[in-house]
Chain A
Amino acid sequence: METIQSTTAERGRPAAVTAEGYGWRHAGRKDPAVSDVSFRIEPGERVLLLGASGAGKSTLLHAIAGVLGDDGEGDEAGRLTVDGMHPVQSRGRTGLVLQDPESQVVMARVGDEVAFGAENMALPRDEIWSRVRESLADVGLEVPLDHPTTALSGGQKQRLALASVLAMRPGVLLLDEPTANLDPDGVLEVRDAVVGVLERTGATLIVVEHRVAVWADVVDRVIVLAASGGVLADGPPAEVLNAAGTRERLIEAGVWVPGYTPRLHTSLPTGGGNGSDGGHGTPGADLLRAADLSVARTRRAGPVVNKVSLELAAGEALSVTGPNGAGKSTLALTLAGLLTPAGGRLEAAPELRRGAPGTVHKWKSAELVTRIGTVFQEPEHQFLTHRVIDELEFGPRRVARLPEDEVRRRVDAIAERLRLTKLLQANPFTLSGGEKRRLSVATMLATSPDILVLDEPTFGQDANTWAELVSLLGGLIADGHCVVSVTHDADFTAALGGNVLRVADGTAQLQAPVASGRAA
């Protein structure tokens, strides 16, 4: 019993993290994910870890948590220690919170989930439950211990993940983009919980996040990893984020530096050669009309949003906003013809119908993909083949059954426009996050739909991909396409302009149009 007591006291102490020429190469990869990184993080320091996508931030964080795996899974170089020990030996001294709230919940109930880490540390039962209550109070999660974990919101799930690692009393908190999948309220909720925890425990913090503004006031040190290996910059936030040299390079790397709005490319005339695919080109023409529409995910689940009335016209943008779980995606998928309306009417106008029936959800594949395209939040859900080129050709050739020269012409133009030309032979699943997003939009554009529906297109994207996406969609709108986006991103809504439909409490309210081009 005595040994447990003494280790308990020790585990609460803030830990130091030291890297000396550290590197890691995943087994089977040519280039190391992390190389030549050196720093010393003192106990209690709060560090923001930055770098371009692919610079190895997550890998480094996993290495510090001791979960990269053993010799079989990669090669280690240099030294990495937590309080002088190898990270694998000091698991429990480090507490890792991951990006995806869904896939880090182990147990079915809140109390059991928080207890899981303490159980693994073989603590006595009374100690476990006192820590469970303490940790839940620390993150402000006031639900009964037997509350089902599936019934929590995204922000609550991330606070639960935080409480779960706190129950192990870690000396270092490692947060891997903990707020990337959350709505704006969830982001603040989790950030504030972390700040409260740090004030009470004094633990060391290392957080990876490319939305710098969220953490800039919380951290006292910023370390920037260079894409080519090594540390690009290391110092207080004000210094690193404002120094001419590093600021430029961070912006170039797609980091969301505070006070900088990504520069949009001037709306490119995108019509080039696209005139023959027909349909869009008459801005203002009615495309789709919803009257008293009710939407439901499944017939058994029942409607989540009722009495939606709206019109979608060519050359128009509509942003669907509102809290998580309000039914925004369900509404968007219904407008996209993928879900059967639970009530009311959804009718395609003659301009969109072009010979197809008026009831959108009854369209055949070929009718749907040439009229309405839907880009899902997770690009991988929509990948069907093993090569980028096959993905792009799938719609025009196999579904719309266009003549071969037309398929070629379209695919070439779209690959060029979305900078996929060099990746045509690559496997879609191996692309970076930004590349996957570009490809998923490109596959939809290949059949030239009049309406493009996007679900959270900017979630977790870096500033470069964001700017590209906004420019592209702006171009589509100028071309006479209608763009419907489900989004939490106020900058995105402002940049695209158009109407805002706010979904909350089972209804949808159309709000005043926002000024276009604020971010330009």
Chain B
Amino acid sequence: MSLDIMTPRLTASPFTRANPLSKLAAVAMVTVVVMLSVDWVSAGVVLAAELLLMPVLGISAWALFKRGWPLVVAALVGAYGTALLAEKTGAVVFEAGPLLFTEDSINSGVAIGLRSLAVALPGIFLLLTTDPTDLADALAQKLKLPHRFVLGALAGLRLVGLLVDEWRTLGLARRARGVGAENKPLAKFAAFLGQAFGLIVQAIRRATRLAVAMEARGFGGSQRTWARESTFSRVDIWVFLGGALVSAAAVTAAVSAGTWNFIFG
């Protein structure tokens, strides 16, 4: 019943087996390119590549939609807002009262919408195909981040799942005392604050106990070995190259189409 963030059911694809660091690098490359320019060509190329790669990455459209639909809504809202408010140059496409859309304002809107989707998708891909434990292993063993920090964060992430259940229980427990059924907004807000405070108290208790349990098992010393070895394999080369290729294609296409619009330029 609790949130399964620690042992997600990952898709069985080569991408899942790749080292989290190479995935992280590929995602970073693609994201940076999309961020650098506001134009619909580069964003469109990246988005198309992402959608085409989905079968290779073993991601089903349905699983993606279930997690990602708020982003689609946000992208549409963003696109509409931009088209409505951007500079009204070019031919008028549609006009009704205060609503005025021109070719250029629609172009900007489409670019913003595509861009937000193109930036968001790789992050979701990473979540859907990466086990948090693998990521922690890679960060500590390959990137040499301090193991106390990495494992502390991993243990903390596990507590988040527990706290989701705890929040629900707290809500019921407080309702039994007569809190939170008032319909006045101010009373509702006060009840929310109280529940949040209760959650913080419980979170600190659990974290303290977990810290004791970890310390009792020798955590925090300077020396440490790893039961699971984080390795790079041939898959990682493909993942890295894939990221580089998509980024290069996006820049090339946008520059040759003359739409490349460097944000710092």
Contact = CB atoms under 8 A, between A and B. Distances in A.
Interface in B169-190: 169-170, 172-182
Contact of B172 (A106, A120, A339, A399): A339
Interface stretch (A367-375, A417-425, A475-483): A367-375
Interface string A124-144: 110011001000000000000
Contact of A399 (B178, B218, B227): B178
Contact of A109 (B133, B173, B176, B182): B133
A394 B132 CA distance: 44
A395 interface: yes
Contacts of B180: 365
Contacts of B181: 364-365, 368
Interface string B155-171: 10010011000001110
Interface string B210-250: 10111111111101111111000000000000000000000
A150 interface: yes
A98 B221 contact: no
B212 A118 contact: no
A301 B1 contact: yes
A412 B225 CA distance: 60
B218 A94 contact: no
Given A374-B176, A380-B202, A107 B219 contact: no
Contacts of B133: 107-109, 112
Contacts of A164: 217
Contact of A94 (B151, B161, B216): B216
B223 A122 contact: yes
Contacts of B201: 380, 429
A100 B131 CA distance: 26
B176 A382 contact: yes
Tell me the dominant secondary structure on chain B's binding face.
helix
A184 B104 CA distance: 72
Contacts of A402: none
Interface stretch (B2-10, B116-124, B255-263): B2-10
Given A380-B202, A384-B179, A106 B227 contact: no
Interface in A41-81: 62, 65-67
B206 A376 contact: no
Interface string A86-112: 000001101110101011111111011
A106 B177 contact: no
A368 B213 contact: no
A369 B6 contact: no
B194 interface: yes
B209 interface: yes
B81 interface: no
Contacts of B205: 103
Given A102-B162, A164-B217, A365-B182, A112 B228 contact: yes
A387 interface: no
B198 interface: yes
A381 B198 contact: yes
A148 interface: yes
A129 B174 contact: no
B160 to A, nearest CB: 12
A174 to B, nearest CB: 8
Contact of A128 (B172, B175, B227): B227
Contacts of B173: 374, 376, 378, 381-382
Chain B interface size, as a band, is 35 or more
A62 B177 contact: no
Contact of B227 (A62, A115, A394, A429): A115
B169 A338 contact: no
B179 to A, nearest CB: 6
A104 B213 contact: yes
Contacts of B220: 120
A336 B176 contact: yes
A376 B169 CA distance: 9
Chain A interface size, as a band, is 35 or more
A390 to B, nearest CB: 12
A265 to B, nearest CB: 27
A394 B212 contact: no
Contact of B7 (A150, A161, A366): A150
Given A129-B227, A369-B178, A165 B212 contact: no
A363 to B, nearest CB: 8
Contacts of B151: 106
Interface in B1-24: 1-2, 4, 6-7
Given A109-B133, A150-B6, A122 B225 contact: yes
A122 B182 CA distance: 56
A432 interface: no
A119 interface: yes
A123 interface: yes
A120 B216 contact: no
A380 B224 CA distance: 38
Contact of B206 (A65, A102, A121): A102
Contact of A121 (B6, B198, B218, B229): B218
Interface in A147-167: 148, 150, 161, 164-165
Given A62-B212, A67-B216, A395 B206 contact: no
B221 A120 contact: yes
A120 B154 CA distance: 15
A457 interface: no
B130 to A, nearest CB: 13
B176 A338 contact: yes
Given A96-B216, A116-B219, 15 more contacts: A67-B216, A103-B210, A106-B158, A107-B158, A119-B227, A122-B223, A125-B225, A150-B2, A168-B218, A368-B178, A369-B176, A380-B201, A380-B202, A382-B176, A384-B179
27 contacts: A92-B218, A102-B162, A103-B206, A103-B209, A103-B213, A104-B213, A106-B151, A106-B210, A106-B214, A107-B154, A120-B221, A124-B225, A125-B227, A125-B229, A128-B225, A168-B218, A368-B181, A374-B176, A380-B201, A381-B170, A381-B202, A382-B176, A384-B194, A394-B178, A398-B178, A400-B178, A444-B176
Interface of B: 1-2, 4, 6-7, 131-133, 151, 154-155, 158, 161-162, 168-170, 172-182, 194, 198, 201-202, 205-206, 209-210, 212-221, 223-229
